[in-house]
Structure 1
Amino acid sequence: MGFVRGTVAPGFETVREEFAAFLSEEPAATGSQLAAYHRGVQVVDLWGDDVGGDTLTGVFSVSKGAAHLVVALLVQDGVLDLDAPARSLPFPLSVRELLGHRSGLIGVDGGFSVEEAADDRLVAERLAGQKPYWAPGDGYGYHALTVGALIDAELRAVTGRSVQQWYASLLRDRFGLELWLGLPEELEPRFRPLLPAAGPAFVPDPASLMAVAFNTARFDLLDYGNTREVRALGASSGGGVGNARGVAGLYAAALRLLGGDTITTFSRPYAEGSDLVTGEIDHFRLGFENLPLTYPFLGRRTIGHGGAAGSLGWADPDAEVAYGYVRRRFGYPGTENARLGEAVITAALGR
């Protein structure tokens, strides 16, 4: 329902048509934005319904993609060693295993308050006294609200700087990205709240590992994403705020900065088998999601990460495409990303 605004480069008209078709089929306004780069040039900048191109909203776990790109750059520069013992953990585990969701520290007994979950340092402090939910290194499971805090603790231990500080200097400030891990107060007028799903929301079994990982006993993800303190501190597991331009720009920057060996390292399937939290199969590469498994049109070296409301960002180095999609209304996993992403790739390969 809604109409499309924005621009596309010549050759990408079919992307606009696909975006318009998707919006017309939705029963409720999604507040969607779509952006893409090809060979370093922005070729798609579209938005629809009740948002503008510069509207900001919560992007949830797309934030993890920003955090993992920071890690990839620091590994590339020799600052971090993937096979070194993680200095931030009280038990033996490598940095590589930490990134691969293998620590077992998916949450804490009793859960986090919103105020705790908003702050990577407070999350890390709670995790330091928590017994892992499985033996560290034995299997993997999605650390939905904790992997960013664990990464942040590791960066602080090794470099003395936070994920947010590294992200600002390496990526956001350098490229002028409209994607923040810590939204300044003066930008709050551009923020639009996330909206509930148009249909019934999935509720995990309270006794499950998924309920622990998503902290369902203490707060709803919608409330988390709409809390100012979460936006202000920019928790790197899910507190990021931005728009599609910012997400696509992030991955365009990744294609520019990451060397071939680094991309190969971080795009190689790492966490194989069944995810102990979500039950998904072969869910992760090194930190990033195994997106080619979900989107077969993507090249095997694609890196990226999605977010709870249906937002998604990725970089396909073989197609030389960077993609960003953001939506206000919950619609996870954002099934429209398959049709929109394929339209972008098809247009790029046809140029």
Structure 2
Amino acid sequence: MDVDVHGTVAEGFEPVREAFLRNFRELGERGAAVTVYRDGRPVVDLWGGTRDADGGAGSEPWERGTAQIVRSATKGVAASVLLLLHQRGELDLDAPVGSYWPEFKARGKERVLVRHVLAHRAGVPALDRPLTPSEALDPDLAAAVVAAQAPFWAPGEDHGYHAHTYGWLTGELVRRVTGRSLGEFVAAEIAGPLGLDLWVGLPEAEQGRTGRLGRIEAPATSGGLRVRPKRNVAEAYADPASLTSRAFGAVDPQPDENDPAYRAASLPASNGVATAGGLARFYASLIGEVGGAARLFTPSTVALARAEASSGPDRVLVVNTRFGLGFMLHGGASPLLGPGSFGHPGRGGALGFADPESGVAFGYVTNGMNKGVTADPRAQGLVRAVKGVL
């Protein structure tokens, strides 16, 4: 569809605007925004479409301050909290999770290390009994269920994407170390000081600025290429007994992500809310100063974030994946700018990442949810445009 795209691009970054427009014209985009920082300064800040993915008559336009649930892009924010605690000497990445959370040692998990949680190697990507949406919002209950879960493989010996359980694992570690929820830590220690429009647990005062998610159908072609899932991946998602289905079905039925109560909860794997600017500025702050504020990560912490900790066939996503400590790394499952990039996509579209070599930080949010988990064609078109400019 044709839309009016608003915002600015720095000289030379005009191809990013063209790619953003192409998402609406060719890829079914409904409402979205993209922001790119380079060396601590915004060089792209664009938005367009409607706040409601249904886009019917009377839908309000997407504005500069419109925020959106970013699903698993929240995982990168959660990872930053654990790495900041490590940077401050409050959390040992090589300590057993059970040394902070004794109940977690049950059923053969006593050797799970904090770094295993961040690298998706803890062995508990699924639950024997899925949680209901209301149970999933109860941090005490969810943590107790995860602590009682037997691992699906010997912890530390393999990796598989912890789609939902990552949030309860990281959230409970932060609670045990700091006495605060992960969302409270983000608000006080990251978003507040840096002036970020980014929340894990959306305040009531911000509910009105958040767009409504909806499903879209990706076109059969993108840039002349046929878009087809690999057969083994499709089969894994279709098989209810597969670890893939069980991991993504750890909350059943799927929560209503437009429900204010869901947005208000602290679910560090899945319900962060951000503007594109908030997500991009967050990643910019990991690798450099932004607006006079001190960078969040020291160079040694950046090295931890992007040093490969897991790679190869993923027991949950089926395809080959690469993870640093909490962040997805550049690769076939999630192409970023280059080998040194680190960040996280959100299932259905959102993407945030940093590339220290180029000084680029990227944030893309959308209300139109595709079926894919990673490498959304809309986000990838924008990434390719940025790469072409560089």
TM norm structure 2: 0.83
Closer/same/farther in 2, CA of residues 205 and 70 from structure 1, 3 Å limit: same
Pairing partner for 1:53 from 64, 71, 80: 64
Pairing partner for 1:270 from 291, 309, 326: 309
Q: Which residue of 2 aligns with 1:342?
A: 384
Q: Is the 8 A contact 1:171 1:253 kept in 2?
A: no
Counterparts of 1:157 and 1:15 in 2: how far apart (Å)? 43
What amino acid is the match of 1:234?
A: S
**Is 1:253 matched up with 2:295?**
no
**Is 1:211 matched up with 2:230?**
no
Closer/same/farther in 2, CA of residues 234 and 217 from structure 1, 3 Å limit: closer
Q: How does 1:284-323 map to 2 (within 5 A)?
A: 284-294=323-333, 298-323=337-362
Counterparts of 1:49 and 1:74 in 2: how far apart (Å)? 39
Q: Which residue of 1 aligns with 2:260?
A: 228
Q: Is the 8 A contact 1:311 1:326 kept in 2?
A: yes
Counterparts of 2:332 and 2:341 in 1: how far apart (Å)? 10
Closer/same/farther in 2, CA of residues 323 and 215 from structure 1, 3 Å limit: same
Displacement of 1:158 in angstroms is: 2.4
Unaligned runs of 5+ in 2: 51-61, 220-228, 289-294
Equivalent position SS for 1:272: strand
Displacement of 1:228 in angstroms is: 2.1
Unaligned runs of 5+ in 1: none
Counterparts of 1:305 and 1:32 in 2: how far apart (Å)? 17
**Is 1:2 matched up with 2:21?**
no
Q: Is the 8 A contact 2:136 2:251 kept in 1?
A: no
Counterparts of 1:140 and 1:248 in 2: how far apart (Å)? 28
Q: Which residue of 2 aligns with 1:66?
A: 77
Displacement of 1:294 in angstroms is: 4.7
Displacement of 1:317 in angstroms is: 0.7
Pairing partner for 2:142 from 119, 123, 129: 123
Q: How does 1:160-239 map to 2 (within 5 A)?
A: 160-198=179-217, 203-215=237-249, 218-220=252-254, 223-239=255-271
What amino acid is the match of 1:342?
A: R
Q: Which residue of 2 aligns with 1:42?
A: 42
Number of matched pairs: 345
What amino acid is the match of 1:64?
A: K
Q: Is the 8 A contact 2:306 2:325 kept in 1?
A: yes
Closer/same/farther in 2, CA of residues 119 and 319 from structure 1, 3 Å limit: farther
Of 135-144 and 197-206, the range deviating more from structure 2: 197-206
Q: Is the 8 A contact 1:224 1:230 kept in 2?
A: yes
Pairing partner for 1:282 from 299, 308, 321: 321
**Is 1:136 matched up with 2:155?**
yes
Counterparts of 1:36 and 1:10 in 2: how far apart (Å)? 13
**Is 1:19 matched up with 2:20?**
yes
What amino acid is the match of 1:100?
A: A
Counterparts of 2:246 and 2:75 in 1: how far apart (Å)? 19
Displacement of 1:157 in angstroms is: 2.0
Equivalent position SS for 1:304: strand
What amino acid is the match of 1:290?
A: L
Q: Is the 8 A contact 1:183 1:233 kept in 2?
A: yes
Cα offsets for 1:305-337 (capped at 9, x unmatched): 010121000010110010000111112331222
Equivalent position SS for 1:93: coil
